Amino acid sequence: MLDHLITGGTVVDGTGAAPRLADVAVRDGRIVAIAPAGEISEDAANVIDATGHLVIPGVIDPHTHYDAQLFWDGGASPSNVHGVTTVIGGNCGFTLAPLRAEDAAYTREFMASVEGMSVAALEEGVPWNWETFAEYLDRLEGNVGVNAGFLVGHNALRRYVMGADSVGNEATPDQVAAMQDLLAESIQAGGLGFSTTLSRTHTDGDGKPVASRWATSEELLALCAVVEQHPGTTLEAMTDGCLDQFSDEEIELFSDMTATAKRPLNWNVLTIDSREPTRIPRQLSAADVAAAKGGRIVALTLPVQVPMNMSFLNHCGLFLIPGWKDLVLGLPVAERIVELQKPEVQARMQELSQAPEAGVFKRLADFENYIIGDTYSEANEGLKGRRVADLAAERGTDAFATLIDVVVADDLRTVLWPIPPDGDDASWELRRQTWADDRAMLGGSDAGAHLDRMCGAPFPTRFLGDTLRGKKLVSLERAVQLMTQVPAELFGLEGRGILAEGFHADVVVVDPETVGSELAELVYDLPADSPRLTASSIGVSRVLVNGTIVVVDGEPTGDLPGTVLRSGRDTRTVATS
């Protein structure tokens, strides 16, 4: 008997093939048949009527930070309700293993700094009872509702081998050798490969550059050489240029890394803006340099705009505008409020936000086009939803000065929403062109990170809705392929990414008339009542992971049938040339 028979739906199988009416049969976690409607006669314990609905493969999210959240939320919400059945974690060089017991507190503060996680939630929601990468993966095995694979983070390797000396120091040859052995051990346990960061945006809980930023190119290449020795592995990396434009040196380093490992390297995230026409050619040219060396580089880019809220109180993108933190945002709150009200400080902040070195963060300096979000003072009553430019015009004041007046009245607690500047038709056309380029791939949700600042997890339903009823920049079958088969092929995921006989039954059933996402809302549902932004899905009828239903009509069932993906067992080696 079949476990499930999905009947009457329009199957979009992830290969790019045209949609077709078909039934899908599932048994023992696998798809055992796909046939024209009515031709599967075997009885099923559960029949899912998908008439008028789309039946698609589960979405694969290649860039998440669910490494901690899975301990208290095995379903990986809200990704699960938006059709994601496989997540890749351990990105940007940030993993929770290997870990010495005495470094747990440092790691919690570290993750709070680099990925916007709540220290209180990490303390209360994560057991911290492992040392090796194998032990970390074993703690998750059997307790996840999605398929989850993890790269091995450079920072954890450095901290484990070098301790506090990992920050501020180059590694000795013996220490590099010890890191190589530790990486090999971690990959043999199932780590999917190696990840690192050299980005200046990444500082630890003490405000110092994270450990991987102190590594030499020789150290990086030594670790990439380890990756080459193990099947089914991959690379992920980040530099300053990932957020703006690569330097020649960054392109050479990435190219040498992928050529040394003989594995693909993906990076996050390619921003697309028609006002920066040179960015895309420059960023994608890294793949050409790599190809000439026998490597492969793939840029991640999102198919939707993901608004991020800003704050003058808590760490966010504003703190990354060069000079702002040193000038004022790094001060204690009481002093910060005093300084922010000084006209000369405001003038200097605006000057810094437009300096060449501000790079991509100039996008945050369009202060007229900020929308006031939640407010907390009597002086700001009624301002929620107002555009700063309109408010400034009413008051006869400069837009930035008006914004500062608002946040100061709230003791800096005001939630601010910048209007994304890249929503013009020309930018969307550039996105369409980029999605057709095999040097780029959809991804970059950062799901599980920056929890109270952004909510990228709903990108699958938002993209499907836009494909079906919005801008319609690509065909339905191509949209599905971009979110399923393409990432599955990059990571070499065995038996996932398409709907085919013998493949794992990671299946999503959605209503094409309504599929989409609710607006993000701030909720306090993390451990220690910590906040996060989340969003419910619309039109998601069923989500199956390994043949078990995990979402019904947009609501998680609580079942945890996910697999902890392990390199070599669940992945195959992907050639770079």
Predicted confidence (pLDDT) per residue in 511-525, tens digit: 999 999 998 888 999
Cα–Cα distances (Å) from 91 to 73, 105, 221, 230, 339, in that order, read 19, 20, 18, 19, 37
Domain 61-307+422-494 annotated CATH 3.20.20.140? yes
d(C-alpha 516, C-alpha 537), whole Å: 6
Over residues 548-561, mean pLDDT: 98
* pLDDT at residue 269 tops 90: yes
Closest CA to 406 of 386, 439, 379: 379
d(C-alpha 38, C-alpha 51), whole Å: 12
Q: Percentage helix, strand, coil, to 5, in the chain?
A: 40, 20, 40
- In CATH, the architecture of 2-59+510-561 is Roll (2.30)
pLDDT one-digit tens code per residue, 135-155: 999 999 999 999 999 999 999
The distance from CA 377 to its chain's CA centroid, rounded to whole angstroms, is 34
pLDDT given at position 77? 98
Q: Which runs of consecutive H residues, i.e. helices, occur in 93-197?
A: 104-115, 119-125, 133-140, 154-162, 173-188
pLDDT given at position 44? 98
> Cα angle at 462 between 375 and 519, to 5 degrees?
20
d(C-alpha 233, C-alpha 231), whole Å: 6
The 10 Å CB-count burial string (b at 16+, else e) for 235-274 is bbbbbbbbbbbbeeebbbbbbbbbbbbbbbbbbbbbbbbb
pLDDT given at position 243? 87
- What is the SS3 assignment for 118? coil
- What is the SS3 assignment for 302? coil
CA atoms within 13 A on the CB side of 423: 9
Closest CA to 4 of 50, 44, 53: 44
* pLDDT at residue 287 tops 90: yes
Number of H helices, E strands in the chain: 17, 25
pLDDT given at position 358? 85
Q: How confident is the model at residue 285 (pLDDT cuts 50, 70, 90)?
A: very high
Domain(s) labelled CATH 2.30.40.10 in the chain stretch across 2-59+510-561
Q: How confident is the model at residue 363 (pLDDT cuts 50, 70, 90)?
A: confident
* pLDDT at residue 357 tops 90: no
Q: How confident is the model at residue 360 (pLDDT cuts 50, 70, 90)?
A: confident
Peptide bond into 78 cis (omega under 30): yes
* pLDDT at residue 387 tops 90: yes
CB atoms within 10 A of CB 424: 12
Over residues 80-103, mean pLDDT: 98
pLDDT given at position 255? 98
Over residues 319-334, mean pLDDT: 95
d(C-alpha 223, C-alpha 194), whole Å: 8
Asked if 468 contacts 481 with a C-beta cutoff of 8 angstroms, the reply is no
- What is the SS3 assignment for 136? helix
The distance from CA 180 to its chain's CA centroid, rounded to whole angstroms, is 27
* pLDDT at residue 230 tops 90: yes
Lowest mean pLDDT segment, chosen from 137-141, 239-243, 309-313, 354-358: 354-358
pLDDT given at position 125? 98
* pLDDT at residue 359 tops 90: no
pLDDT given at position 577? 82
* pLDDT at residue 421 tops 90: no
User: CA torsion angle for 442, 443, 444, 446 (degrees, to 10)?
Assistant: 160
d(C-alpha 443, C-alpha 482), whole Å: 9
Residues with Cβ within 8 Å of 425's Cβ and at least 6 positions away in sequence, in order, are none
d(C-alpha 72, C-alpha 141), whole Å: 13
CB atoms within 10 A of CB 475: 14
Residues with Cβ within 8 Å of 10's Cβ and at least 6 positions away in sequence, in order, are 19, 20, 21, 22, 50, 53, 54, 55, 512
Domain(s) labelled CATH 3.20.20.140 in the chain stretch across 61-307+422-494
Closest CA to 460 of 10, 23, 41, 54: 54
Q: How confident is the model at residue 28 (pLDDT cuts 50, 70, 90)?
A: very high
Over residues 16-22, mean pLDDT: 98
Closest CA to 300 of 91, 128, 463, 63: 63
* pLDDT at residue 66 tops 90: yes
pLDDT given at position 93? 98
pLDDT one-digit tens code per residue, 452-471: 999 999 999 999 999 999 99
pLDDT given at position 302? 96
Over residues 213-219, mean pLDDT: 98
